[in-house]
Amino acid sequence: MSGTSSDSRPQGREPVPHGERAKAVGHIVFNLALLGIAVMMFVHAGGLPSSAWEPIGSGSFPRLMLALLALLSVLMIIKEAAKLRHTSALPSGSVGDWVWRHRLAFGVLGLFTLYAIAMPLVGFRWATLPFVLACQVLLGARRPRQLAIAAAIALFMSVGLDALFRHVFTISLPRGALL
Amino acid sequence: MADFFLQALGQVSSPSVLALIIIGVLFGIIGGSIPGFTVTMAILVVFPFTFAMDPVSGVSLMVGVFVGGYSGGIVSGVMLGIPGTPSSITTVYDGYPMAQKGEPGRALGIGVAASFIGTLISVAVLVFFGPLIASFSMNFRPWEITALIVFALTLVAGLSNGALLKGLLAAALGLLITTVGYDRNSNLRFDFGIPALGSGFEILPVMIGIFAFSQLMGNLEKLRDDQGKAKGVDTNVTIPYGRIAKDMAGQKLNTLRSALIGSLVGALPGTGGTVANFISYDQAKKFSRQPETFGTGTPSGIVASEASNSAVAGGAFVPTLALGIPGDLPMAIMMGVLILHGITPGPLMFEQNPILVGAIYASLLIGAVIMVLCQLLLVRWFAKISLIPQEVLVPVVLMLCAIGSYALNNNLFDIWVLFVFGVIGYLLWKAEVPLTPLILGVVLGNNLERQLFRALELDDSWMTFLTRPLSALFLALAVASVIFSLYQDRKIQRNRQQAQVNDA
């Protein structure tokens, strides 16, 4: 099982072009999003009721945290924006390269989304079996022997664990609304 | 306490609990030996299996994972040259060269022996200092507890290697997460239009999502980098017991010093095994008569590394049990686990749950003995298991995370909570935001708000935080930790600029 036959390019080792600028842009976008969320929540928390006989109202603690979060986000944006001046513009296709480098992670996250959707519908066993199998195929199990091992692992992890939780730990995993 | 300890020992020595400790240690070693899996992940994966257990059984199993996990990193470190956990990085410096010289069994044996002694010494530290600090902290009032939590959070944020702002941001985010749902007066604060969020987020899916997803997705980004190294590794290892006994006889001082460093570092918030590992290795090198042999396969290097990282296990329990403030990330998760079992770590735990405290001591001791036996008898198998590829590991661990989140309350919504926080955790990890302050914020958030509220209820003046000596001391330490890390940040920045100039 240790050998993978994936035709994917090795990840993580190739030099990222204009890495510093990409990082700075990423940080700015991330902190702007965080700042936006913090401001919206801060306004919402301002409308929460305060008690006449209590020292701090419902919104006081969250507002304290949100103000701190907003302040830190602004500081981060200022810090990262200063870096933009020292780096050159990103070449075209950078975003595509970035997405390509993260395709396995995005693929697994996509499969997990399907898994979470399928679980209430078809139950733990029949959602887990294809999820574990599909993930292994996505991540490199392609040869017949690897596929056979992947199928055995998927079967054990779905049917086997379901039985273990049900009969040994007396915890019932989802059965599925459609079954 | 001795009565309670004997009572706890009786419970822990029962066949069923002993079996659980053995399973925990085995799983911990396996988890620690697989590169990219880590002790924390092992704890998270085992946790759902404890739901149906009584607290002593559940905690014993988790402690077993803890002890096994800290010693497991040595297997892949020695055999593959890849640290199984970050806390065994310096083990590779000498363990791998020794294995390359044809002595993998000697390297593993020395590491296991040092781990064992390190754990024992750290348990002694825990038994001595735990109750002492707990009885001292019994006098803490809400002002002191609030200030102590603030200090712990700033300290952890400040230790985020050159990223103070990000560390503080993560801590604030963690605290904010705990404000979702209804508050103590049944006022709905935030539910984002989702009725299921009225009761707030469950700690467990949030912690698992933030930590496990970022770790696993990070592993995927470097998939295949390490696998070439794993090919052709000879896992046939024999342990030369006589040689190891002779090696260890010459390492008494080094072992003691390293174990004490590990216990001390483990007891400090936000540090953990990785920091202990480096400090201990550095100190062993400074004290050595042959510092030039470090990095070439010397027993001293392996002892320093393994005795210190294993000693973190006992040390990290000190602030968790005595103050209710976890020392590092695995301990933050462990504290979450205790809370979910209905146990609130803190000074009162020594009075209210002495048997459980005794069970933790006993499990650590028994776990250490089992760890040595398992490592020495099964090392060949652990070496084989450490070669499990990420393509198998990632889906299996994600699936176990989903079970853990669901089985807590038999609630499918928690799987979505896991997923959303998984994506958030991955994004934060990509943005190089440290995750330990965030998880600490999630674990301590409710207590911080409760204590702040109580303090202001008793005396509505914020100045009281500064007029009470201990509270003022903790706040001063919090400010000092921020100033110190600002200084560190600038130093790191200067060094980077200097390196860039030199490269040019």
Shortest Cα distance from A1 to chain B (angstroms)?
7
Which DSSP category does A57 fall into? -
**Closest to A132 (Cβ–Cβ): which among B176, B216, B399?**
B399
Cβ distance A54 to B415 less than 8 Å, yes or no, reads: no
A177 in a structural domain:
no
The sign of the torsion formed by the CA atoms of B265, B266, B269, B270 equals positive
Q: Are residues A32 and A73 in the same domain?
A: yes
8 Å CB contact of B225 and A128: no
Q: Residue length, chain A?
A: 179
Measured in angstroms, the CA of A82 and the nearest CA of chain B are apart by 14
Q: Which residues of A touch B175 (CB under 8 A)?
A: 65
Same domain membership, residue A62 and residue A39: yes
Interface of B with A in 31-50 (CB under 8 A): 48-49
Residues A22-31: tens digit of each pLDDT:
888 888 999 9
Longest distance between any two alpha carbons in chain A, whole Å: 71
Rounded to a whole number of angstroms, the distance from the CA of A87 to the nearest CA of chain B is: 14
What whole-number distance in Å separates Cα of residue B415 and Cα of residue A20?
A: 35
Yes or no: say if B39 and B87 are a contact pair by the CB < 8 Å rule: yes
Please check whether residue A120 lies inside any domain of the structure.
yes
Stronger pLDDT, B501 or A11, i.e. the higher one:
B501
Half-sphere exposure (CA, 13 Å, Cβ side) for B3? Answer: 1
Residue B93 lies in a domain: yes
User: Which of A56, A104, A157 is the closest to B399 by Cβ?
Assistant: A157
Domain membership of residue B211 (yes or no) is yes
Chain B residues near residue A153 by CB distance under 8 angstroms? 392, 396
A85 and A133 inside one domain: no
- Kindly determine whether residue B395 and residue A141, on different chains, have CB atoms separated by under 8 Å: no
Size of interface A-B (CB pairs under 8 A): 179
Look at residue B425 and tell me if it is in a domain: yes
Cβ–Cβ under 8 Å, residues A68 and B179:
no
Interchain contact B179–A (C-beta under 8 A)? yes
CA-based end-to-end distance of chain A: 34
Q: Does A136 lie in the same domain as A83?
A: no
- Assigned token pair, B216: 């696993």
pLDDT of residue B287: 87
* In-domain check, residue A124: yes
User: Cα torsion at B335, B336, B342, B346 (round to 10°)?
Assistant: 30
Q: A173 in a domain, yes or no? A: no
Residue B272 has a pLDDT of 67
Contact: B389, A56; criterion CB under 8 Å: no
Contact A58 B231 (CB under 8 A): no
Last residue of a domain, one of A90, A116, A144: A90
Of A4, A12, A27, the CB nearest to B389: A4
Residues in B touching A72 (Cβ below 8 Å): 165, 168-169, 172
User: Which of A57, A90, A123 is the C-terminal boundary of a domain?
Assistant: A90
Q: B92 near B49, Cβ under 8 Å?
A: no
Asked if residue A61 belongs to a domain, the reply is yes
Residue A147 forms contact with B (CB below 8 Å): no
Q: B235 lies in a domain? A: no
Domain with A153, as residue range(s), is 97-167
Tell me how many domains chain A contains.
2
Interchain CB contact of B457 with A (< 8 Å): yes
Cβ-based contacts of B432 with chain A (< 8 Å): 23
Name the stretches of chain B with pLDDT < 70.
Answer: 1-2, 160-162, 223-235, 269-272, 327, 503-504
Which residue does chain B place closest to A75, by CA atoms?
Answer: B165
Residues A122, A65, single domain; the answer is no
Residue A112 has its nearest CB partner, among B398, B410, B457, at B398
Q: Is residue A13 one of the residues assigned to a domain?
A: no
Provide CB contacts within 8 A for B360, sequence distance 6+: B59, B63, B317, B321
CB contact under 8 A, A44 and B230: no
d(CA B286, CA B298) in angstroms, rounded, equals 14
Residues of chain B in contact with residue A109, where contact means CB-CB under 8 angstroms, are: 217, 422-423, 426
Torsion angle of the four alpha carbons B5, B6, B8, B13, in this order, in degrees rounded to the nearest 10: 130
Residues in chain A with CB shorter than 8 Å from the CB of B179 are 61-62, 65
Q: Is residue B226 part of a domain?
A: no
Tokens 């100039």: give the residue: B501
Q: Is there a domain that residue B236 lies in?
A: no
Shared domain check, A68 and A131: no
Would residue A64 count as lying in a domain? yes
Rounded CA-CA distance B443/B451 in Å is 14
> Is B168 in the A-facing interface, judged by CB distances under 8 Å?
yes
A84 with A119, same domain: the answer is: no
Under an 8 A CB cutoff, do B406 and A174 touch?
Answer: yes
Question: pLDDT (tens digit, 9 = 90+) per residue, A92-148?
Answer: 777 788 888 888 999 999 999 999 999 999 999 999 999 999 999 999 888 899 899
- Does residue A145 sit within a domain? yes
In-domain check, residue B232: no
Q: Domain end: A90, A121, A150, which one? A: A90
User: What are the φ/ψ torsions at residue B262 (nearest 5 degrees)?
Assistant: -60, -45
> What pLDDT is attached to residue A1?
32
User: Where in the sequence is the domain holding B115, given as residue range(s)?
Assistant: 2-221+241-503
Asked, for residue B404, whether it belongs to a domain, the answer is yes
Judge whether A61 is closer than 8 Å to chain B, CB to CB.
yes
Q: Which two tokens stand for residue B368?
A: 């250490």
Give the dihedral sign, CA B230/B232/B238/B242.
negative
Q: What is the pLDDT of residue B16?
A: 92
Interface membership of B221 toward A (CB under 8 Å) = yes
pLDDT at B1: 58
Structural domain total, chain B: 1
Q: For residue range B296-332, what is the model confidence (pLDDT) as tens digits?
A: 899 999 999 999 988 887 888 888 888 888 867 788 8
Q: How far is A4 from chain B (nearest CA, A)?
A: 8
Per-window interface: B 369-398 vs A, CB < 8 A: 387-392, 394-396, 398
Are B465 and B475 in contact, with CB atoms under 8 Å apart? yes
* The pLDDT of residue A13: 41
| Chain B CB within 8 Å of residue A165 CB | yes
pLDDT at position B277, please?
83
CB contact under 8 A, B395 and A132: yes
Which one-letter DSSP state was computed for residue A28? H
> A62 vs B422: CB contact, 8 Å cut-off?
no
Return the residue of B nearest to A136 by Cα.
B391
Write out chain B residues lying below 8 Å of A66, CB-based: 176
Confidence at residue B267, expressed as pLDDT on a 0 to 100 scale: 81
Whether A25 and chain B come into contact, CB under 8 Å, resolves to no
